[in-house]
Amino acid sequence: MPRSSRTAANQRPPLYRKFADELAASIQAGVLQPGERITSVRIASQQRQLSVTTVVRAYALLESRGIIESHPQSGYFVRQTQSQTIAPSPSVTSLLPRSHPAIQEAHEVDVSRLVLATLKAIQQDGTVPLGSPYPDPTLFPSQRIAQYVSKITRSSHHFSIFNDLPPGDPALLRQIARRYMETGLTVDPQDIIITVGATEAINLCLQAVARPGDTIAVETPTFYAILHAIERMGMRAVEIPTDPLTGIDLDALESVLKTQKIAACMVMPNFQNPLGSMMPDAHKQRLVALAQRHDMPLIEDAVYGELFYGSAHPSSLKSYDRDGLVLHCSSFSKSLSSAYRVGWAIPGRYREQVEKLKFLNTLATPTIPQRAIAEYLTQGGYERHLRRVRRNLLQQRELMRHFVLRFFPSGTRVSEPAGGYVLWLELPAQVEAMELYRRCLALGVTIAPGRIFAVTNRYSHFIRLNYSYPWTSEIEKALKAVAKIVAELS
């Protein structure tokens, strides 16, 4: 074959992707309607003169994009329109107090003691975990993963510490890279470094790009693990206003970059905790371009990326990164298993530094949990599991939002997250969230006070609620108790 012909052949998309794109275009054009059954694998294979494997891969790709869904023993169907991206209501756009970019100041960070006290309270037996940062463990296939752990443990007598060394277990690295490929992002397995949860990934990435005394730009409010990383390393934080619909205020960030030296920016672009916001693609692209102009590393916390309610997997900052400035961090703790704390980093141009720091800080990530999760992913079923989790979380979001809007006093505002499992509530201005927290705790109910999501006390009348747990009479009773105390404090 002539060289030009070989080059052209190499550039053609694989058959399964071509078939998937054609079918997706038909659905988009209305040829197939939501809820309609699509051609079975066997018949599609015969009609298109494709192998069964090719058709199965095409359907799996469409499923991962949220375009079709499989019904056990019934086949594949076009997803219902109700599953498409749910736009938050306009009433939440003014949920946050905004501060002018010109008055942004860097602050010392000291929130760890309050967060630790809050987490200890959540762990007490018998408390209703409305303030928990963790998803309901019953959402996960824990028994199946435990079986893999047991099997691997029995055959692991020949393991040594060298099996655990970074970057991580090759089988798991391949499976993570494959998952990214299925959602539209090409990642080399060797670009990934396995960590002890996303928290370690965030800490290692921050340590790789900044030094004690440096200033880090963060969203406000933001998840306290990000503030912990900054506090632990003796850095300072400058808080950038963040919108519950569109994410970090890029104009404010750009203004800060013109007046201050920012060592890095830490963001959660998809289903930000506690807001639940998802940055539009155009904003993500603009943020990456802004980072490139200022040569500013972006540390992307992507732990909630799999928990979307829309029709397709959201894009990441990493997907727009061409210069290796995005240090992408994620884990299986929010989507598959929180028990084993398996996370990873894709640090771009900082890969060597992060791998070295991983070795110096914790030496390695235990092999057995890595191999158990790799085995689960290899055997299949992850996407089906995620669809079930997403359906449950969306239903429970609707239940809790409805309850808050009905029973909490006038003046309460509530977010409408497009993914994840937390609600952000703005209470009447006179309500002190820390007093509410203490009164609820006395009744055996935990909430997360807004104070722990910022360096400054600007969220003194805000709280975060976890809706991942099944709706029960106990949950309903606890929420009524919280609403009653809020009314008393109003």
Dihedral (Cα; 189, 194, 198, 202), 10-degree rounding: -90
In angstroms, the CA 266 to CA 301 distance is: 7
Q: Which residues contact 443 (CB under 8 A, 6 or more apart)?
A: 478, 481
pLDDT of residue 30: 61
In angstroms, the CA 133 to CA 98 distance is: 25
pLDDT of residue 160: 54
Task: Map tokens 């921050």 to a residue.
Answer: 206
**Hey, what domains does the chain have and what are their CATH numbers?**
15-83 (1.10.10.10), 108-135+384-489 (3.90.1150.10), 139-380 (3.40.640.10)
Residue 217 pairs in a beta bridge with 238, 265
Residue 327 pairs in a beta bridge with 299
Q: Are 426 and 413 in contact (CB under 8 A)?
A: yes
pLDDT of residue 183: 85
In angstroms, the CA 231 to CA 109 distance is: 5
Q: Are 326 and 412 in contact (CB under 8 A)?
A: no
pLDDT of residue 125: 64
pLDDT of residue 73: 65
Q: Are 433 and 451 in contact (CB under 8 A)?
A: yes
- Decide: helix, strand or coil at residue 472: coil
Q: Minimal CA–CA distance to 288: which of 244, 325, 242?
A: 325
pLDDT of residue 124: 65
Written as tens digits, the pLDDT of the chain (490 aa) is 444 433 334 456 688 888 888 888 777 756 577 877 888 888 788 767 788 878 888 887 887 677 888 876 678 888 865 333 333 333 333 454 443 343 466 665 556 666 777 667 666 667 899 999 999 999 999 999 999 998 888 876 555 555 668 999 999 999 999 999 988 888 999 999 999 999 999 999 999 999 999 999 999 999 988 998 999 899 999 999 999 889 999 999 999 999 999 999 999 999 999 999 999 999 999 999 999 999 999 999 999 999 999 888 999 999 999 999 999 999 999 999 988 899 999 999 999 999 999 999 888 888 899 999 999 999 989 999 999 999 999 999 999 999 999 999 999 999 999 999 999 999 999 999 999 999 999 999 999 999 999 988 889 999 999 999 999 999 999 999 999 999 999 8
In angstroms, the CA 419 to CA 417 distance is: 5
pLDDT of residue 161: 54
pLDDT of residue 86: 31
Of all helices (H) and strands (E), which one includes residue 299? strand 298-301
Burial of residue 184 (number of CB atoms within 10 Å: 0-12, 13-18, 19+): middle
Return the number of other C-beta atoms located less than 10 Å from residue 227's C-beta.
26
Q: Taking every pair of C-alpha atoms in the chain, what is the biggest distance, in angstroms?
A: 81
